[in-house]
């Protein structure tokens, strides 16, 4: 049996420092030499020192330098051990911590700003009651809750309202003049570590609700309106994708205009006339003219008619030119675009919306706008196809004007065709459809099938239009106007060719041919239609 080492019963201090006791290094056994060469870390030294203090065996002075003890972190800061968790649980916990840290940062901002701004704030310049209770996420599902949940939700909303109502009104670039909602969204974007679309959408939605509350309470001035129209600065735009930044800006602008319209309906004194005119000026001064066109259409729907009459017609004419150029790039508004682009319904709805906006103008404004568009389309220099597309776009807008008589539209068509030549049968069909859409002569069931009709063959398109204009089976006023319009344009042959152009048996709709022959009220046109029908048969 192997004897036990004699070093096991010796004191720790004797084993730790044998040279101090006069023992040479080679006199100890191998096991004891291994113990003597062991160098404990600072935590082990602190543990042993605590044991000695409790027993009183050894003095409290440490054998290690003080720097070893200073490097040791206090036990309260040491991370606690947690059992293994699933990835979904860790993800949810991270989101919860992120939402709570946002409130902590807001409280910290308030503490710093309160210390910096307290001496310089006069008593009479106290801000109005905050409109930020809408920033509570609990308002998203505020309906159909139990009484217990409602009490808890009210407590959370009150707590969050207390934090957000004391949020500083300073922004990153301009220190004192920004609205609190805009300063909040800029800070959130610039301080978020992981910027995600979901988080940005949630925070932007809360700030937009606060903007709406501000407008409905009448706490909106010219400076606030200008800042809300451009809610993001250069620093915040650089941190998010361009498309996401555009959506955030569009959301703030849409909420602002809808809230101004609702405030005008509730109380006309909440929205002064100067604010509406400032809104129009901010739209006209936007860099993106395409966005300006859409915003102008939205503004015209909520703006009072007397104030809309005060908008300069020259500024509106600039937007009309922009819309003409965009419509010329798209081409045919009633034909389905290639895959990957915007659907046909969006193009047609935008055309209807813009034409309806122009119809809200006064006769003087409308005449000035159409004269400027006519000059721009006829005097445009460029390739032949580009000039043809631009002039067709102008005719499409002109066809959507219900106040313009047919004679004026015919004159504009002849002026456009005099330099670029005759338009195609598809373009003529689209002009006729737009003309009757403006007059509200197409039944609702045919309007729903309009996107399908644009992709049909020429014979099917004209047959569809003729049957749509005579739903009772007999030619009426709308069908006679169609024949008269095509005769004035010199394009009645397009209608006759479209109705009788097919040679497949059973493809010609005789009821449509008969209705056109009765509605044209011209013997020569009826005979020409009969000759084409005989030739195709």
Q: What gap in Å lies between CA 478 and CA 468, rounded to an integer?
A: 10
Q: What is the mean pLDDT of the segment spanning 71-90?
A: 69
pLDDT for 129? 39
Pairwise CA distance, residues 213 & 132, whole Å: 8
Which carries the bigger pLDDT value, residue 124 or residue 487?
487
Contacts of 309 (CB under 8 A, 6+ apart): 361, 362, 365
Question: Token match 């006791």: residue?
Answer: 21
**How far is 131 from 116, CA to CA, in rounded Å?**
23
CB 177 within 8 A of CB 240: no
Q: Specify whether the CB–CB gap between 232 and 189 falls below 8 A.
A: yes
At residue 218, the pLDDT reads 87
Closest listed residue to residue 181, CA positions, set 134, 126, 144, 142: 134
- More confident site: 518 or 262: 262
Statement: residue 497 has pLDDT above 60 = yes
SS3 content of the chain, % helix, strand, coil (to 5): 70, 0, 30
| CA pair distance 64, 77, nearest whole angstrom | 23
Q: What is the mean pLDDT of the chain?
A: 73
Residue 145, CB half-sphere, CA atoms under 13 Å: how many?
Answer: 14
- Cα distances (Å, whole numbers) of residue 380 to 386, 389, 419: 9, 11, 11
Query: pLDDT class for 323, splitting at 50, 70, 90?
Result: very high
pLDDT confidence band for 151 (50 / 70 / 90): very low
How much of the chain, in percent, has pLDDT values that exceed 90? Answer: 20
Which range has highest mean pLDDT (73-77, 117-121, 153-157, 266-270)? 266-270
pLDDT given at position 125: 37
2: which residues sit within 8 A by CB, 6+ positions away?
none
Reported as a pLDDT band with limits 50, 70 and 90, residue 39 is low
State the Cα–Cα distance between residues 125 and 111, nearest whole angstrom. 20
pLDDT at site 133 = 35
In sequence order, the 6+-apart residues with CB closer than 8 A to the CB of 470 are 476, 478, 479, 515, 519
Record the tokens describing residue 470, joined without a space.
Answer: 């005579």
Question: Six-digit token pair at 533?
Answer: 């029908």
Q: How far is CA 479 from CA 192, 398, 497, 510, 533, in A?
A: 63, 20, 17, 15, 19
pLDDT on residue 96: 66
End-to-end CA distance of the chain: 123
Burial class (CB in 10 A: 0-12, 13-18, 19+), 460: middle
Q: Which are the contacts of 300, defined by CB distance < 8 A and separation ≥ 6?
A: 308, 357, 360
Alpha carbon of residue 5 to chain centroid: 80
Measured distance CA(512)–CA(135) in Å, rounded: 61
* CA 365 to centroid of chain Cα atoms: 31
Pull the structure tokens for residue 145.
């809750």
pLDDT of residue 333: 73
Q: Nearest 5°: CA angle at 390, between 385 and 396?
A: 125
């Amino acid at each position: 049996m192997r004897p036990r080492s004699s070093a096991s019963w010796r004191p720790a201090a004797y084993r730790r420092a044998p040279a101090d006791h006069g023992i040479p290094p080679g006199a100890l056994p191998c096991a004891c030499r291994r113990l003597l060469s062991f160098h404990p870390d600072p935590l082990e030294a602190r543990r042993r020192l605590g044991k000695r203090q409790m027993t009183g065996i050894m003095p409290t002075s440490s054998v290690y330098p003080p720097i070893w003890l200073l490097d040791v972190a206090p036990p309260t800061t040491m991370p606690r051990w947690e059992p293994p968790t699933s990835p979904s649980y860790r993800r949810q916990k991270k989101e919860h911590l992120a939402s709570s840290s946002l409130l902590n940062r807001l409280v910290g901002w308030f503490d710093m700003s309160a210390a910096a701004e307290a001496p310089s704030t006069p008593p009479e310049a106290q801000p109005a009651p905050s409109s930020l209770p809408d920033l509570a996420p609990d308002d998203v599902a505020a309906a159909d809750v139990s009484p217990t949940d409602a009490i808890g939700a009210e407590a959370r909303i009150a707590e969050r309202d207390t934090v957000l109502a004391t949020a500083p009104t300073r922004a990153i670039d301009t220190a004192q003049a920004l609205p609190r909602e805009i300063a909040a969204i800029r800070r959130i974007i610039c301080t978020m570590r992981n910027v995600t679309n979901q988080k940005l959408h949630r925070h932007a939605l809360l700030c937009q609700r606060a903007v709406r509350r501000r407008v409905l309470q009448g706490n909106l001035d010219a400076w606030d309106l200008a800042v809300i129209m451009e809610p993001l600065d250069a620093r915040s735009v650089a941190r998010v994708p361009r498309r996401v930044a555009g959506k955030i800006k569009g959301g703030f602008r849409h909420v602002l205009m809808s809230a101004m319209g609702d405030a005008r309906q509730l109380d006309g004194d909440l929205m002064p006339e100067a604010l509406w005119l400032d809104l129009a000026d901010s739209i006209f001064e936007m860099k993106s003219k395409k966005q300006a066109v859409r915003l102008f259409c939205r503004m015209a729907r909520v703006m009072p008619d007397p104030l809309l009459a005060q908008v300069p017609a020259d500024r509106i004419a600039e937007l009309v030119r922009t819309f003409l150029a965009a419509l010329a790039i798209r081409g045919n508004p009633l034909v389905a675009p290639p895959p990957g682009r915007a659907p046909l319904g969006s193009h047609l709805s935008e055309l209807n919306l813009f034409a309806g906006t122009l119809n809200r103008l006064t006769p003087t404004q409308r005449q000035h706008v159409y004269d400027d568009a006519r000059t721009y389309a006829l005097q445009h220099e460029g390739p032949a196809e580009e000039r043809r597309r631009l002039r067709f776009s102008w005719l499409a807008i002109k066809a959507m004007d219900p106040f313009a008589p047919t004679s004026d539209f015919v004159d504009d068509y002849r002026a456009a065709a005099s330099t670029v030549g005759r338009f195609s049968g598809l373009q003529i069909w689209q002009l006729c459809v737009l003309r009757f859409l403006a007059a509200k002569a197409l039944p609702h069931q045919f309007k729903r099938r309009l996107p399908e009709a644009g992709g049909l063959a020429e014979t099917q398109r004209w047959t569809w239009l003729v049957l749509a204009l005579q739903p009772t089976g007999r030619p009426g006023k709308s069908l006679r106007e169609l024949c008269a319009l095509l005769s004035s344009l010199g394009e009645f042959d397009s209608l006759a060719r479209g109705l009788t152009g097919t040679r497949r048996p059973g493809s010609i709709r005789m009821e449509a041919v008969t209705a056109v022959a009765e509605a044209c009220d011209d013997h020569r046109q009826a005979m020409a239609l009969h000759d084409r029908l005989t030739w195709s048969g």
